[in-house]
Structure 1
Amino acid sequence: MVILTLNCRTQSLTCVLFDWKKQHLLGKGSVDGIGTPLATASFARSDGRLMSRSAPCPDHRSGLALILSLLTDPAAGPLDGPDGIAAIGHRVVHGGERFSRSVLIDRDVIDAIRSYEHLAPRYNRPNLAGVEAGLDLLPKIPQIAVFDTSFHQSMPAHAFIYPVPYSWYQKLGVRRYGFHGTSHLYLAKRASALLGKPPAECNLITVHVDRGISLCAIKNGASIDTSMGMTPIEGALMESRCGDIDPGIPSFLMDQEGLSPAAMTGILNERSGLFGITGTAVSRRSVLAQAAQGEARCLLAVEMEAYRLKKYIGGYLAAVGRPDAIVFTSGHGLLEAGVRERVLDTLGSLGIRLDPVRNRAPETVDQEVLVSAEGSSVRIYVVPTHEELVFAADAAALLQGTLADHLDHDYPFARADFPAYPANWRPAEG
């Protein structure tokens, strides 16, 4: 059973191809430059061979067609033809209150995804473009929507309702939804395996660290709170998003600077966070590297990021009680070690202690490492997140009619004998 996963953004898409039955990774690909005069598609096979091709891609349909041309290339493609794909698992960022699990896509689901577009236009719009491209190019292949928001549908009302007029929730759906749900699900399942406990018995704080950052409080395996809100802007300081700010600031700036709502939203999403503090169009990796070298504004930005993460973790310790583990992803390998040190440096009074040597062990992003000190009251793990495994697992389970609620579903990566990715997804012999 070959599963293709798709994650479509405004000008790009990424894909991963799995042989799910044999549990082998067949390769990863991307298309960059969608909507520009010339886009480039690349596909890295699991045997190390790299394929690439360039062509005009005015939209996501042509972008998907370009990557499919690599997957089915007669000389080097891993597939004999597109009919070799059993299903496509699509990332969809916002599923509102309606979707608490992944679903097969039909016209009703498409209409629902479109109805939530105004809550995450930078994401649902290209996500939906990818869905429609898949249905158009591969109409006989089942397409599955996997929602970022689904994992957080277990939050209680006191955590997801905002202290604003209740009618806004009733009429307009104004509430906390949360995002990065597939990442938090993966981290929770891997942590349960590392702890040797059933997922439903684990209390955790998971920290998804990448361009976007979010935290999740998990009690008995279920999300009870998360830092992102109705939109992905709320929460921690991020690469280009502001995170939590005084809600009076946007209206003040709109009045003082004559900014439109759309312009203000663009600034909060794309020109704030680390970018806003440093004033340079750099990646989070670059900010971390320059902070390590003592660059003042980058150092300030990293200190701000760590301080805000520390405050969230403190709040979630109160919400969850003493957790079994705090689990960090590591989007930038060794550069993240200093972030964890800053975040956890004052938690020793609670018995939560890093081991400085272990903390610097994850030099790459594909290592699962226990980084807490001996005798720490809470285990601290670094676990690489692999959302595409969740996309593929849900797609395969829907095809087989076995997908259950995430608390009950038997995800392969929740098992104690599941080796750290990508070792368990090696290409088949011969």
Structure 2
Amino acid sequence: MGLIFVVNCGSSSLKFTLINPEDGKTVANGLAERLGTPEAVVNIRQPVRLEFQVPNATHGDALDKILSHIDGDIVGVGHRIVHGGEYFTESVLVDDKVVELIGSASDLAPLHNPAHVMGIEAARKKFPDLPHVVVFDTAFHQSMPKRAYLYALPYAMYTNEKVRKYGFHGTSHRYVAGEAAKLMGKPLEDLHLITMHLGNGSSTCAIREGKSYDTSMGLTPLEGLIMGTRSGDVDANLHEYLTRRTGCTLSEVTAMVNRESGLLGISGLSNDMRTLAEAAASGHQRAALAIDMFCFRLAKHILGMSASLDRIDALIFTGGIGENSAIVREKTLSYLSLLRPQVDSELNNQHGRPANGRITTGDSPVLALVVPTNEELVIARETARFVPALAS
């Protein structure tokens, strides 16, 4: 059975998954970190745990180490790409022009797209005869109408500078919407859903008849919800105010709202929801405040997403927090009293597993589901469409 090698590159990291696109089984996975430094390391987590010190390793060196310790008939390579700008509305087969366009979107994702290009080039050298496919976080949201994706700026900022809402987590929102439709026993094309990908990065999405009509992340992944270290929505004048008041540079303020804010900034303790929940239960007031703010902001965005829908057939929680934090789900739903959700505490505490993901009562006016995401499987299946042996 042919396997797909899924690659997700950061500037100093390379996450990989070897997966069967037909049954979704993961054959191998792992992560290379701190690439380009003396502390570079490769961790293989499956099929057996292995760790290798690879000082100053490049992305290509990391691939060499990984491929020497995993087995399987690799027939295609799938690449997760954060930003496709307006160039890409769907997954495409890699060629030199595609790589050039991904690179040209680097101004929109300076921390991600240059690293993706490095990963693509390294993988193409290792697998020169295999099809390489790029799958974009932004592509799913290209169906948004202009009223949802434009900012109220001079129109030339859009036409000349491509300033608009792009949205992210598209593969996750798309996947869990499809899985929710299966759980509900209804065609996705008949459903109006609000999906919530909640993790260190978080976003909501209004999905109407299988298409994205609005999402909370914007030009960059900073906009929208409170996240692990990102502030989410703030006043646009904040940067200038803080540079004048504190003497910080614009870059320093930008770094603060991206890396020192969110759950970490509010709590002063951690960006990990599990740590905060434990601390809050022990009386840590700022941890409790961080959780409360996270849930309140999420509830506000859920109601905002409803403007794009005629009804809400289901609210879907996914991502590390969405799938595993009962307190976040319960508190968020408590702020949605307008929708009158009735939480089944027992099902919620079991993350919906006994009831096909359902965490609300059978007579709740709105259905809430927990649906585990699998972005790697989405990428693998998208890639498989371009592999003749698998697509036939």
TM-score range, shorter chain: over 0.9
Q: Give how far 1:56 is off.
A: 1.8
Match status 1:201 vs 2:190: yes
Contact 1:144–1:395, Cα closer than 8 Å, also in 2? yes
2:16 alignment partner AA: C
- Look up the match of 2:373: 385
Report the equivalent of 1:344: 333
**Aligned CA-pair RMSD:** 2.2
Match of 2:31 in 1: 30
User: Where do 5+ consecutive residues of structure 1 fail to align?
Assistant: 72-77, 404-430
Give the unaligned 5+ runs of structure 2.
none
**Residue type matched to 2:120 in 1?**
V
Counterpart for residue 423 of structure 1? none
Higher mean alpha-carbon deviation, 155-164 vs 62-71, is at: 62-71
Alignment of 1:18-417 (within 5 A): 18-21=19-22, 23-46=24-47, 49-71=48-70, 78-79=71-72, 84-280=73-269, 282-332=271-321, 336-362=325-351, 369-400=357-388
1:102-142, CA deviations, whole angstroms, 9 ceiling, x for partnerless residues? 11111111111111111111121222221111112222222
Q: AA paired with 2:314?
A: A
Deviation at 1:279, TM superposition (A): 2.4
Q: Partners in 1 of 2:103 and 2:186 — Cα distance?
A: 39
Residues in 2 aligned to 1:141 and 1:52: alpha-carbon distance in whole angstroms:
28
Paired residues of 1:91 and 1:148 also in contact (CA < 8 A): yes
Contact 2:131 2:386 in 1 (8 A): no
* Count of residue pairs the alignment pairs up: 390
CA shift in 2, pair 1:230/1:367, >3 Å = farther
My pick for the range that moved more, 336-345 or 134-143, is 134-143
CA distance in 2, matches of 1:13, 1:194: 33
Letter in 1 for 2:11: T
CA contact under 8 A between 1:334 and 1:361: conserved in structure 2? Answer: no
Give SS of 2:178's match.
helix
Equivalent residues of 1:5, 1:17 under 8 A apart: yes
Aligned to 1:411: none
Matches within 5 A, 1:416-427: none
Q: What is the TM-score normalised by the length of structure 1?
A: 0.86
Change (3 A) 1:254 1:347: same
3-state secondary structure, aligned to 1:370: coil
Question: Matches of 1:217 and 1:22 in 2, distance apart?
Answer: 28
SS in 1 for 2:69: helix
Residues of 1 paired with 2:390 and 2:305: CA distance? 33
Residue deviations 1:257-306, cap 9 Å, x none? 33333222211111111111122455333223322332111111111100
1:364-414, CA deviations, whole angstroms, 9 ceiling, x for partnerless residues?
Answer: 9x99521111211221110111100110000001224998xxxxxxxxxxx
* Amino acid across the alignment from 2:331: R
Q: Which secondary structure does the structure 1 equivalent of 2:111 belong to?
A: helix
* Stretch of structure 1 that moved more, 297-306 or 347-356: 347-356
8 Å Cα contact 1:367-1:383 kept in structure 2: no
Residue pair 2:232, 2:262 contacting (<8 A) in 1 also: yes
> Residues 390 and 52 (structure 1 numbering): CA distance in 2 closer, same or farther, change over 3 Å?
same
TM-score between the two structures when normalised by the length of structure 2: 0.94
Distance 1:157 1:21 in 2: 36
